[in-house]
Chain A
Amino acid sequence: MLDIQNLVAGVEGKQILNGLSLRVKPGEVHAIMGPNGSGKSTLAGVLAGKEGYEVSGSLMFDGKDMAEWSPEERAQAGLFLAFQYPVEIPGVSTANFLKEALNAIRKARGEEPVDSKQFLQLMKSKLALVEMDKEMARRSVNEGFSGGEKKRNEIFQMAMLEPKLCVMDETDSGLDIDALKIVARGVNSLRGEQRSFVIITHYQRLLDYIVPDHVHVLYDGRIVKSGGKELALELEEKGYDWIRDDKQPA
């Protein structure tokens, strides 16, 4: 699904990712954990094709080189980024926004656009997933939403657009425990054999609810340790200093 080899990325001459490699197979859930400044958000931005980064290395998505793809081409190919800070777009209702997005993606795949009736039906079923009511879909995208509502809206959009690969950038930040559970339930229901997840997080607690297949520790712009879900618990217990100490030459 996703194959990153030796990814180097920087911004304004400052290198942030220093040769990161990661392989994600279909259906797998990978958690990437790391302290502040380790390059987590840069990784999310680079995967989604955000401008302003100087990038080198190999970025393969679904067997194709996506390094030169624009953000919308990546989205149309099935890559979804759940933003750490979802953006407000005044005056554009979430429903309208998603309909435009869904049809743009369908068009790229050579599919017919959905009509309003189909869309509303689809929306209704997906709203239930994240316990959002219809009213929220009528409101402007993220405008005036609480932190929790914004994150739920991201998962709702993920459900609507049915991506192949979901990159979640600190989705748990700013969520209380109830909202966290709702978000996790939504994500879990979207797990499937053909859909992969890359969950980027600082804390382990989200992983109590979305259990990963693999856990990687991102430090100083590269993955310094990989393991199973138990690695997350170990990290939680020992803190990132443990990695730091670990990295120090004996």
Chain B
Amino acid sequence: MKTDPIKEYKSRFEAGNGKPFPALQAEAMDTFVRLGFPGKHNEEWRYTPIRPIRERVFAAGHDTRSSKQEVQQRFPFLEGAAYAVMENGSWNREASSLPEDAPRMSGISEAKDHPGVQAHFGKYADTHIDPFAAWNTAFADAGLVIEIPDGQRIDTPVYVVLLDQGPGAVAHNRLLVMAGHNAACSIRLITASGTVADQSLLNTTSEVVLGEGAKVEWDVLQMQDENAFQVANTYVFQHGRSVFTSRTVTTGGRIVRNKLHIRAAGEHCESNMYGLYLGSGDQVIDNHTGMFHASPRCLSNQLYKGLVGDRAQAVFNGRIVVERDAQQTNAYQSSKNLLMGPDAAVTAKPQLEIFADDVRCTHGATTGQLDDAALFYLRSRGLPRDEAVSMLNLAFAFDVLESFNEGPFRSFIEETVRARLKEIRI
């Protein structure tokens, strides 16, 4: 008889011991068992077929550990930088590099009694309704805590490399970022497949808290192998006058589901969300954003762009909620897609839910093709068609790419995008 995956995960949970947050995690496991994996009838998952994730039993993990050299070779921009490697869901300290001026990082188990961790861990994730967040929480034993104390502004970015590892393995990565009052930092996540990865799943849940006046940049590059899976849930909580900026570039992975929820809880917050996704082959790339304006005089801005070819499917679901008290909110959202393959599909679902009257909210969504006139213009100047097409595609992606700060990381992303664009057939 076929094993019921969820039963298997439950027994795995019960066999584990030394849970850092026993009550919370047991409750999360119960929730996961109760909810199960979402199907088509779940409005949140209607356009995202996750059968390959739902039907297999993912292995518990793999002990392959990358070396520092391997990691730096693969991601040259890490040389000399502060970075942590999370491999198969836990911190690979040997491969990591944390100079003295890097922000304080600790494992969740060792930091569990820290008052900040006690106050924030599990407080923002919607564990009670999201099965992947619940699943992650149940297994979040080896996560990472990054703390930036009040007033500390860290100029150099800190990288977190998330590697899946081992055939058919699931890795539950857990991150908690606490930026204190007027603290500032830039966090860059790279998700990629490890050397022995094969059809593995990264299930990541991140919670990011910004104190008054804090500033956090959250850059994400998702470049797993073409048979790998990823579910990334990110929950951001902003106190007044804080600025949060996320930039997400997705080039790899068979199924990638990103959920980014931001709650602007204090006045004068600013939230920026940029996204770029390149889909080819049988990729499914799903970005669900939720911008929750709970306080007056905040600004939010979203720009998501996608190039979708072959049989790839892209989903953008952008929800903006302006609560009753959130007067003088400015919320903007734009979703643009280039659809390039006869069997490709794009679903855009922008949503506005407005309960305050003195607001300016707009959303726009377009789906179309490259401009024929522009293509002709370039060709008439002597550019071969393919080159002209990639030039225009890159131009389409440009306003998301240019939102990244200059430097080796941005160059690396640009190179990755450029190379990927060549693979998208039209």
Indicate if A touches B (C-beta under 8 A): no
